[in-house]
Amino acid sequence: MSNPSADTSLPTCPRHPDQVSFVTCQRCERPTCAQCERPAAVGIQCVDCVKQSSKDVPRQVSLFGGRMAHGRPVVTIGLIAVCVVVWLGQLVNSSITNDLVYAPWQTGSEPWRMLTSAFVHSPDTVFHIAFNMYALWICGQYLEPLLGRARFLALYLISAFGGSVCYELLASLPTRTHLSSGWLTPTLGASGAVFGLFVTVLVLNRHLGREVGSVIALIVINGAIGFIVPNIAWQDHLGGAIIGGVCAAAIVLLGRERRNLQWAALTGVVVLLVVIAVVRYQTVDLPFTIVS
């Protein structure tokens, strides 16, 4: 019995030389076996041409310079998933809460807590995480397509960091007679980052000429709650709102024509926050030593 693939006069697939193919790619006209065929508008194309054509398609850019985000808001869903998984872990193991929350006195020894604290919530009630995740979902599915996934994630994390820095900056200091203070009190929750998203919606809608009244009311109501309800870190909310607004303003002012500079501006905000956090920590003079 003869082997057809051994006959060099027969056309074979370049990617699979042992496969005889009488079907050709509509783009490069090379023989294409069944494994390498991809359906096209007319006929088929080989897998190599499909990959090349995807590279040749101009990148779609959102209104504010980010890569166009189609489909589900995967970054928003991912952030919510992380927070929910961490919260469920907190219910099982209380050490997770202790390991991730942030108190200003930990800035020098464990600075990463300034960011990880945004992913933990009170294990004593479901309302804390429920409200933050609902707000994240509402804002995220609106902002992620507008900003692009990378810019949205960066703005969320920078706002969370900004909330922690503001909490450190405005925290009351302990004395020998009054140990209870913000400097020693841990904070947790995504509220700072969420307030950053609130203000970002406000800035972007203002720029686009869209309705902003409901957003302003939302910010005012939730901001007031921080002063009325006890045990809420209003400093965190304030910092997240300010930094979210600064980042959003930088993105809007630079526009998609100078989108590369947007990243420089966001990096500059992070550097400024780091400097503020370090200076504040270094200039605090406590009347006693804290042992971690």
* pLDDT tens digits, one per residue of 48-97: 887 777 665 555 667 777 776 677 899 999 999 999 999 999 999 999 99
Return the bridge partners of 37, or none. Answer: 46
pTM here is: 0.78
Q: Residue range 105-121: average pLDDT?
A: 96
Lowest model confidence (mean pLDDT) among 27-41, 58-72, 249-263, 266-280: 58-72
pLDDT at 1: 42
- With bands split at pLDDT 50, 70 and 90, how would you rate the model's confidence at 158? very high
187: which DSSP letter?
A: B
3-state DSSP assignment of residue 64: coil
pLDDT at 218: 87
Of residues 20 and 266, the one with the higher pLDDT is 266
As a whole number of Å, the end-to-end CA separation of the chain is 81
Spatial distance between the Cα atoms of 246 and 155, rounded to a whole number of angstroms: 10
Per the CB < 8 A criterion, the answer to whether 12 and 32 are in contact is: no
Q: Output the CA angle 55-61-83, nearest 5 degrees.
A: 100
Q: At residue 229, does pLDDT exceed 80?
A: no
In order of their start, the domains of the chain are: 4-56 (no CATH), 74-283 (1.20.1540.10)
pLDDT at 19: 83
To the nearest whole percent, how much of the chain has pLDDT over 70? Answer: 90
Amino acid at 38: R
Q: At residue 214, does pLDDT exceed 70?
A: yes
Q: Output the CA angle 79-83-89, nearest 5 degrees.
A: 145
Q: At residue 6, does pLDDT exceed 80?
A: no
pLDDT at 35: 83
Average predicted confidence (pLDDT) for the chain:
87
- With bands split at pLDDT 50, 70 and 90, how would you rate the model's confidence at 198? very high
3-state DSSP assignment of residue 108: coil
pLDDT at 5: 45
pLDDT at 292: 59
pLDDT at 134: 95
Amino acid at 56: D
Q: At residue 255, does pLDDT exceed 90?
A: no
Looking at the chain, list the stretches that DSSP marks H as alpha helix, in order from N- to C-terminal side: 47-56, 74-92, 95-100, 113-116, 126-147, 149-170, 191-208, 213-228, 234-254, 259-283
The helix or strand, by DSSP H or E, that contains position 36, with its residue range, turns out to be none
pLDDT at 7: 52
Residues 6 or more apart whose CB falls under 8 angstroms from that of 26 comprise 40, 42, 43, 44, 45
* pLDDT tens digits, one per residue of 174-193: 877 677 778 889 999 999 99
Nearest Cα neighbor of 199 from 215, 213, 184, 181 is 215
Spatial distance between the Cα atoms of 2 and 188, rounded to a whole number of angstroms: 74
Q: Residue range 42-46: average pLDDT?
A: 78
Of residues 37 and 125, the one with the higher pLDDT is 125
